[in-house]
Amino acid sequence: MNSKEIIRRTLDFSCPERVGRSFWDSDFVNAHYNVKTKATDWEKVGDNRWERYDEWGNLWARVDPTSKGEVVRGVLEDVDDIDSYEFPDFSNYEDYRAVERVVAENPEKWIIGSMPGFTFNIARKLFKLENYLCYLLLELDKMHGLHDRIDEMLESMIVNYAKAGVDSIMFPEDWGTQTQTLISPSLWYEEFFPRFQKLCSLAHEHGVKVFMHSCGAIAAIVPGLIEAGVDVLQFDQPRLHGIDKLASYQDNSKITFWCPVDIQKTLQTKDESLIRAEARELIDLLWKRKGGGFIAGYYGDNASIGLDPKWQEYACDEFVKCGKRDS
């Protein structure tokens, strides 16, 4: 059973022979469009400061050479700038030829087409987060126009990725803080649920599964994400969600969860027995119980969370050892 079949069976809850994984000969290969944008590389501009521009023209900064940084100046300074802003053109299929090659070169792997984000993630960067949140409350009618333009761009990307032959697309998002969603659930359901539902439907019509990443406490919108059509929800803090709660979602839907052992609550204990125990719990409750529905993950930036890689290696070892159908 090759990687593509492992992941297909995982999402279908049809008893793959082992748990899917994103480490140690990962089952996944990422594919990316090759669109000319405004993005630049990181450049050191002063003591303890690095800056870069992203594909939209937003200015990012960070205080060390390895962290991800954050937008410090959005390309849009006022809602009146929306109509004049020109998005990069993601509609030209020639910019997806590299994706075709990745698909052709990896016939046994599950291919993920990398999206630049969902509507919220892109819009909040264009204005800088705190400004955008204010506009959502005070200028929602004008935000509709911006969101519509972003959705049209994302729709063209989905169609092109599907034409290139990917198995799924991945939307990177961060909907939550450590305690709650960044916006009220009522606003999320009003403004963003219909948009996400439409994009998921388009992907499914073209035979493409939908993966989404989100950090934070997003329990209030997980049922909405499932209803909208998300096939795989990826995150890094299963304890924040509650592993029992995650399992309960699978009683009424085929939602797959993709995560490592909790990067804040468990890995930080640096206790091998606790790390291995959580890996077994994830396998038992989210994979073995329903014959699929879980992908074993690996947090890719140990340095940013101050962690020796060996602690994640213990989790990986336990995932592989226990994630077999005959064990």
Q: What is the pLDDT of residues 139-165, one digit of tens each?
A: 999 999 999 999 999 999 999 999 999
Which pLDDT belongs to residue 199? 98
Residue type, 217: A
Which pLDDT belongs to residue 66? 83
Q: Are strands 59-62 and 70-73 parallel, antiparallel or unpaired?
A: antiparallel
Which residue shows structure tokens 């279908």? 12
Q: Which residues of the chain have pLDDT under 50?
A: 327
CB-CB contact of 199 with 151 (8 Å): yes
Which residue shows structure tokens 């993630």? 121
Which pLDDT belongs to residue 67? 85
Which pLDDT belongs to residue 13? 97
Please tell me whether residue 122 adopts helix, strand or coil conformation: helix
Q: What is the layout of strands, in order, in the sheet containing 49-53?
A: 43-46, 49-53, 59-62, 70-73
Which pLDDT belongs to residue 326? 72
The radius of gyration computed from the CA coordinates of the chain, to the nearest angstrom, equals 20
Which pLDDT belongs to residue 38? 87
Please tell me whether residue 117 adopts helix, strand or coil conformation: coil
| Strand-pair partners of 59 | 53, 73
Q: How many residues does the chain have?
A: 327
Which pLDDT belongs to residue 256? 98
CATH topology of domain 3-38+78-322: TIM Barrel (3.20.20)
**DSSP label at 303?**
G
Q: Rounded to an integer, what distance in angstroms lies between the CA atom of residue 210 and that of residue 201?
A: 9
- Taken in order 246, 191, 182, 55, is the CA torsion positive or negative? positive
